């Protein structure tokens, strides 16, 4: 009898471990499928919009009774109601004071396991986006608009951070040039999505992810899925792609738009970004090919795009998959 009980106990433990692993794999495959479908729907919808800037505004309003003034911010909400909802199937739209009513949890878990409050404004998501930044030629920042939220007919919950004054494109304003380039006013809309609402685990990299739409007319939409951590130490640009494939065959270097999206949403990944990271995008200056880097560190250089000869300096590597 003792031997039978021992055997049943062992079988039970092995079955529990196996079931947990199988459940995790099934969830991951489901999330991957849902994420790709969401990206396809967003890409199609945004491509049907003639431009994605200028929908909402920040305006000063005066109380007729007291004479006091305040800023009315409905930019993100207006973008959803007057823009996205016209071409996407949306069930419910929530203002900044009722984000939870659209299925978003008040707290989420970052990719490195930290519990944070769900950001309700652009500054809470990334304060560098709303700080004044200058590269010697222009000064730029993104408006600190309040987030709105909506639910899709497929059950996803989506937070929207909106910049009605976004400008430019890759063609209109070349990257690099030896002086770097700030990206704050290139972001038109940033989205944080939860594939299953408040059900959980409410964790970045699982049911929660992010994407950014940049440039108002020639829109680029990026939805990178970063690796849980940088792929290794610092490397030359010529070795960066190889570093990602050696880390995992599914991963690769982010392109410039994916790098921008990671910068905007870095708080959702880790609080420890403090360098410039390689991307796969390149420019040619005076016949010389240079690789573009995203500067993630805080301060007046945060959000800058730098360029560097692939063999002239070592930088850390971030890897992503689609």
| Model confidence pLDDT, tens digit, residues 185-242 | 889 999 999 999 888 899 999 999 999 999 998 899 999 999 876 666 799 999 999 9
Distance of alpha carbon 142 from alpha carbon 190, whole angstroms: 12
Assigned token pair, 254? 């982010």
Tally of structural domains, the chain: 1
- In the predicted structure, residue 173 carries a pLDDT above the cut 60: no
Residue 145 lies inside a defined structural domain of this protein: yes
Q: Which domain holds residue 117?
A: 28-58+72-321
Centre a 10 Å sphere on the Cβ of residue 159 and count the other Cβ atoms it contains: 25
Highest mean pLDDT: which of 139-143, 174-178, 230-234, 293-297?
293-297
Q: Is residue 11 part of a domain?
A: no
- Beta strands 187-194; 157-162: pairing state: antiparallel
Q: Is residue 277 a part of any domain in this protein? A: yes
Nearest in space to 223 (alpha carbons), one of 249, 271, 260: 260
């Amino acid at each position: 009898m003792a031997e039978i009980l021992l055997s049943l106990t062992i079988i039970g433990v092995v079955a529990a471990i196996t079931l947990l692993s199988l459940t995790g794999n099934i969830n991951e495959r489901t999330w991957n499928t849902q994420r790709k479908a969401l990206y396809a729907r967003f890409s199609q919808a945004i491509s049907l919009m003639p431009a994605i800037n200028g929908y909402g505004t920040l305006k000063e309003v005066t109380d007729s009774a007291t004479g006091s003034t305040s800023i009315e911010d409905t930019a993100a909400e207006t973008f959803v109601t007057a823009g996205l909802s016209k071409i996407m199937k949306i069930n419910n739209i929530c203002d900044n004071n009722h984000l939870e009513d659209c299925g978003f949890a008040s707290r989420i878990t970052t990719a490195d396991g930290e519990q944070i409050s769900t950001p309700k404004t652009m500054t809470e998501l990334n304060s560098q986006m709303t700080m004044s930044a200058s590269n010697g030629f222009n000064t730029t920042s993104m408006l600190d608009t309040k987030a709105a939220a909506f639910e899709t007919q497929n059950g996803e919950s989506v937070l929207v951070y909106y910049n009605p004054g976004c400008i430019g494109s890759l063609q209109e304003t070349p990257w690099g040039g030896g002086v770097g380039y700030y990206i704050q006013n290139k972001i038109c809309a940033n989205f944080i999505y939860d594939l299953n609402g408040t059900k959980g685990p409410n964790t970045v990299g699982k049911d929660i992810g992010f994407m950014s739409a940049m440039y108002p007319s020639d829109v680029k939409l990026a939805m990178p899925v970063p690796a849980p951590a940088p792929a290794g130490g610092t490397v030359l640009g010529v070795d960066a792609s190889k570093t990602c494939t050696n880390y995992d065959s599914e991963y690769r270097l982010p392109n410039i738009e994916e790098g921008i999206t990671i910068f905007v949403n870095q708080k959702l990944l880790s609080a420890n970004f403090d360098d410039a990271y390689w991307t796969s995008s390149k420019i040619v200056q005076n016949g010389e090919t240079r690789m573009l880097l995203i500067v993630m560190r805080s301060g007046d250089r945060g959000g800058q795009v730098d360029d560097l000869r692939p063999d002239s300096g070592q930088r850390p590597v971030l890897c992503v998959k689609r």
